C-alpha cells in the first residue's frame, strides 16, 4: 500500500513540476535574421535587395522582448536612363544601422487560458524603436544626364556618406519552440519593418524642393525572418506560457 501511495505522490509531484515549468521563461536571447527590403525616397524606381541582422534581446516577459539589433543591407534606386529616372539620378547605398526596439505581443495583454484560438494569436506583435543608420553610397550619379537641355549642367546636392536618426515600426508573428523544460528555448519570427529616417541620406540626394519633388522623409521597408536562441536566468511569469492541451 505504501508503495502505491508513494508512486501516487511522485506522479502528482511530477505533474505539478511539469505544470509549474510552463510558467517559466529565459531572461536573455541572441539571434540573427535575413531581410528583403527597398527604399521609399526621392527616386521613383526602387530595387529590392536582401539584407541581414544580429541581435541581443532582454526578455522583459515572454511577450515583451527588448532588442539591440545591428542591421545591414542595400538600398538602390533610380537609373541612368530616362525610363528609370527622368533626370538620370541613380544611387546604391550599402547601409548599416544600430537599432534599439521593443515588441509587445498579444499574450501580454489578453487572457488566452483555455482558448485554442487565443493561444494561436497571442504571438502576434507590434513594436517600435529608435536607432541610427549609417549611409554609404557605393555608386551615385551626381551630375544630371537629361536636365536643362544638356548633360553635366546641374550637380545634384547631397552627401555620399551620412548618419541619420531612424524610427522603425514593426509587425509580425513569433513561433515559440519549447525545450525539455517546457520553456521557450527558440523562436522563429516572421515580420515586417517600416523605418522612417530624419534626413536625406538614404539615396544621397538633397535636392531643392522647388525643382524636385521632395515632400516626405526618406523611408525604407523590409520583410524579415529571424531565429533566436534563449538562455540565461529562468524567470517566473504570471500566466502559463505553454499550452499543454
Residue 136's nearest CA partner among 94, 102, 167, 164 is 94
State the sign of the Cα–Cα–Cα–Cα dihedral 161, 56, 39, 128.
negative
Structural domains of the chain, count? 1
Residue 103's nearest CA partner among 230, 190, 198 is 190
d(CA 8, CA 165): 62
Task: Supply the mean pLDDT for the chain.
Answer: 88
Residue 95's nearest CA partner among 142, 41, 58 is 41
> Is 241 inside any structural domain?
no
d(CA 82, CA 203): 18
Question: Which pLDDT score, from 0 to 100, does residue 178 have?
Answer: 95
Neighbouring residues of 88: CB distance < 8 A, sequence distance ≥ 6: 78, 79, 80, 81, 82, 141, 144, 145, 146, 147
- Residues 76-112 have pLDDT tens digits of 999 999 899 888 899 999 999 999 999 999 999 999 9
> Is 48 inside any structural domain?
yes
Helices and strands, counts by H and E, the chain: 2, 9
> Is 76 inside any structural domain?
yes
> Is 243 inside any structural domain?
no
Domain span including residue 72: 2-236
Residue 166, all three cell numbers:
531612424
Q: What is the CATH number of the domain that holds 50?
A: 2.40.160.20
- Residues 130-168 have pLDDT tens digits of 999 999 999 999 988 876 555 557 788 999 999 999 999
Q: What is the pTM of this model?
A: 0.85
Residue 160, all three cell numbers:
555620399
- Residues 3-19 have pLDDT tens digits of 444 444 444 444 444 44
Residue 19, all three cell numbers:
505544470
> Is 244 inside any structural domain?
no
Question: Which pLDDT score, from 0 to 100, does residue 9 have?
Answer: 41
195 in Cβ contact with 169 (< 8 Å): yes
- Which one of 5-9, 67-71, 211-215 scores highest in mean pLDDT? 67-71
- Residues 31-55 have pLDDT tens digits of 999 999 999 998 889 999 999 999 9
d(CA 65, CA 77): 34
Amino acid at each position: 500500500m505504501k508503495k502505491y501511495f508513494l508512486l501516487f505522490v511522485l506522479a502528482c509531484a511530477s505533474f505539478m513540476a511539469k505544470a509549474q515549468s510552463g510558467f517559466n521563461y529565459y531572461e536573455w536571447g541572441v539571434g540573427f535574421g535575413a531581410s528583403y527590403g527597398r527604399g521609399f525616397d526621392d527616386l521613383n524606381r526602387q530595387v529590392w535587395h536582401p539584407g541581414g541582422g544580429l541581435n541581443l534581446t532582454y526578455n522583459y516577459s515572454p511577450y515583451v522582448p527588448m532588442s539591440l539589433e545591428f542591421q545591414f543591407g542595400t538600398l538602390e534606386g533610380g537609373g541612368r536612363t530616362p525610363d528609370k529616372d527622368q533626370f538620370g539620378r541613380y544611387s546604391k547605398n550599402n547601409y548599416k544601422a544600430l537599432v534599439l526596439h521593443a515588441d509587445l505581443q498579444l499574450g501580454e495583454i489578453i487572457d488566452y487560458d483555455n482558448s485554442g484560438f487565443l493561444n494561436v494569436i497571442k504571438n502576434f506583435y507590434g513594436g517600435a524603436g529608435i536607432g541610427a543608420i549609417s549611409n554609404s553610397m557605393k555608386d551615385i550619379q551626381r551630375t544630371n544626364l537629361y536636365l536643362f537641355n544638356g548633360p553635366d549642367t546641374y550637380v545634384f546636392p547631397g552627401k555620399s556618406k551620412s548618419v541619420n536618426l531612424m524610427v522603425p515600426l514593426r509587425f509580425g508573428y513569433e513561433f515559440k519552440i519549447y525545450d525539455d523544460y517546457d520553456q521557450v528555448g527558440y523562436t522563429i519570427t516572421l515580420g515586417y519593418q517600416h523605418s522612417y529616417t530624419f534626413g536625406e541620406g538614404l539615396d544621397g540626394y538633397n535636392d531643392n524642393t522647388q525643382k524636385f519633388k521632395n515632400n516626405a522623409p526618406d523611408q525604407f521597408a523590409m520583410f524579415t525572418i529571424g531565429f533566436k536562441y534563449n538562455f540565461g536566468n529562468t524567470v517566473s511569469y504570471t500566466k502559463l506560457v505553454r499550452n499543454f492541451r
